[in-house]
Amino acid sequence: MARMEDVDRFMRDELIALECPEFESTPWVEAQKLAESRVAVISTAGLQRRGDRPFNLGAADYRVILGETAAEDLVMSHVSSNFDRAGYQQDMNVCFPIDRLNELAADGVIGSVAKYHYSFMGATAPEDMEAPTRQLAGLLKADDVNAVLLIPI
């Protein structure tokens, strides 16, 4: 349903008018074979551990999500009310597919799942998230991650 004709007129106008960052070219890192990939999730759903600081308007920082405890700990504090949360509330894999990734790892489809995953709050301009994202690159490499799955909300 994320087609322009499926969202209300206000949202459609907002999405069409939204200024996107411009890049002169697209960088390209050759990926490892899937079976040798250690995969981390970066979400922009405003996910946080219960008890962690909630996201607020304009937040450009991220929250750390420990894959092992996500099922009990995860809450969403995204500022926007313009997307469905009922799907996520019934099954967090709708936007944070940690169970599905663990199953792919158990089946040998991917090499392994990262210990740490991360969430931003996607209502913030991407340019404002550049510095924390570059910081994350180092943290992801320290966790031996070689493939990052980015998931919007």
Residue 103 Cβ vs other proteins, minimum distance, rounded to whole Å:
7
The answer to the question of residue 102 lying near other proteins (CB under 8 A) is no
Instruction: Output phi, psi for 71, to 5 deg.
Output: -60, -40
DSSP state of 32: P
Residue 46 Cβ vs other proteins, minimum distance, rounded to whole Å:
9
Q: Which two tokens stand for residue 31?
A: 């990926």
Q: Which one among 63, 67, 101, 113 touches other proteins, defined by CB under 8 A? A: 101
What are the start-end ranges of the H helices in 62-97? 70-73, 86-90
Site for other proteins, residues 6 to 35, rule: CB under 8 A: 6-11, 15-16, 18, 20-23, 26-34
The answer to the question of residue 116 lying near other proteins (CB under 8 A) is no
Q: Which one among 60, 61, 97, 105 touches other proteins, defined by CB under 8 A? A: 97
The answer to the question of residue 60 lying near other proteins (CB under 8 A) is no
Q: Other C-beta atoms within 10 Å of 113: how many?
A: 22
Element (H, E) at 39: strand 38-43
- State which amino acid sits at residue 29: V
Q: Which one among 66, 89, 106, 144 touches other proteins, defined by CB under 8 A? A: 89
